[in-house]
Structure 1
Amino acid sequence: MARNKALGRKLRLAAALSSNRDPPAWVRIKTKNRVTRSPARRYWRRAKLDV
């Protein structure tokens, strides 16, 4: 991908990066480890973004 990105593409990539995280630790504590993974996680090799 090019080093110089358009602002819209950069914002979409930043949003995808921030949404690709595990749930915080307090969620595990609150749900007694019933919620350990996020269903929205995306692995960079398996699923590509449409940007």
Structure 2
Amino acid sequence: KKNKGEEQDQQQERAQKQDQQEEEEEEQQQEQSQEQEQEQEQEQEQQPSQQPQQ
């Protein structure tokens, strides 16, 4: 038999792991959106060479 304290510890551990996973997923999504923004900026930088610069 497990005592109540152990069960609570395990529940807390699970909750912490879920929080960590959610944080990691958010970080990954932010990194992906940053990469997309950088790619867009690079494309914009390449365009002026085709057009006369103002």
TM-score normalised by structure 1 residue count: 0.36
Highest CA radius of gyration, 1 or 2? 2
Flag the structure with more relative contact order, 1 or 2, with Cα contacts below 8 A and sequence separation at least 6: 1
TM-score normalised by structure 2 residue count: 0.35
